[in-house]
Amino acid sequence: MREKRADQAKREARRRFLQLTGASAVGLLLDCSKESPARPPERTVPRHEPAVAKSLKPNAPELRAEQKTGFYFHPAFLKHDTGPRHPERPERLTAIIDRLKADGLWRELARLQPSPATTDTIAAVHDPAYIQLAKNEIEQGRIQLSTGDTPVSKASYEAALLAAGAACQATTAVIEGTLKNAFCAIRPPGHHARPGAHGGMGFCVFNNIAIAARHAQQAHGIKRVLIVDWDVHHGNGTQETFWTDGTVMNFHTQQKGLYPGTGHPSERGEGKARGHIWNFEMAPGAGNTAYEKLYTEKLVPTARAFKSELILISAGYDSHRDDPLGGLALDEHGFGRLTGILAELAKEICNGRLVVCLEGGYDLTATAASAAETIRILAQM
């Protein structure tokens, strides 16, 4: 009976999500067991892509030699085409870059292009059969993965490999001390992608943040990782990945009743992970004060007790008050203060090791301002 109620809740959350995304996103939640039509010709990448590309160097920091905040981006992220009027669109990234330049932050960053993650690295989280399925379906020209509501184009597999690669390479640089912290401006996002054979979900192909956590453990010997997810939608894929693990703490704050219908406070993990997964359902209208209180009174002491050696943030800016897909009331200054709390915590417990990966955020102005404020705080640390 409980499973039936849970399934009903998930279906209702998906129905409401579809209403919020509008008629242009009807294809997101279609029954993908049917043959997916081929995508029409892909749209042109925004015209200032070449200028962006020239301002980045592959795999090497620019400007001053001292330790800096890293900014990971690749022009291929702009070629992941989700279709006309889709909220998860390439302009999200170009808006962030434009804002960083306007605010004078761009020149302060070590700007890097990632290389693709290997399939072995991704297989630390995702079933190899799913990795191959995603590759095959994207190469076949499907407009949506058969696993769920994940729109794709022929450039999406490369973009997904690069997004996971950015998260891993930023993590390596921060652990090794070549960067003091990092922000990954990546797409497709990742926190809904699940670890099993049916991974893709909710705009996500691979779970970038979970892959980065496993990379830190397997490649660098990190024992305990804290993942903080402030996206308006619950990071169900991240939670599922570490549901029985115990070495990766999850701290999720999501709006109650939204897609994907998971993230109830009673979901605390099983086995060794019991008590290391935290879910907080935020009421519509919750804003800066509520979040700061929760982070200060609950997250900070919990993370201290857990003794994390690395902090990763799933930065979904759809918790902003202006976002069309949510109903929370954070603003860019609130995101800045949350970043400050986590950056100070990282300095205290894990030598400042902090990596931020972009998740949601669909109002271009709000997302750009919030990301810029996050990066401003990182650069000041």
Of the listed 86, 192, 234, 276, which one is catalytic?
A: 192
Return the structure tokens found at 363.
């109002």
Residue 208, Cα to own-chain centre: how many angstroms? 7
By the 8 A CB rule, do 190 and 137 touch? no
Which of 304, 288, 284 is CA-nearest to residue 345? Answer: 304
Strands (E), 238-290: 248-255, 277-282
Catalytic: 126? no
What is the residue type of 372? A
Long-range contacts of 196-199 (CB under 8 A, 24+ apart): 196/127, 196/130, 196/240, 197/127, 197/129, 197/130, 197/133, 198/130, 198/147, 198/148, 199/126, 199/127, 199/130, 199/134, 199/147, 199/237
Strands (E), the chain: 57-58, 68-72, 110-113, 179-184, 225-229, 248-255, 277-282, 310-315, 354-358
By the 8 A CB rule, do 292 and 342 touch? no
Task: Compute and round to an integer the Cα radius of gyration of the chain.
Answer: 19
Residues in the chain: 381
Active site residues: 192
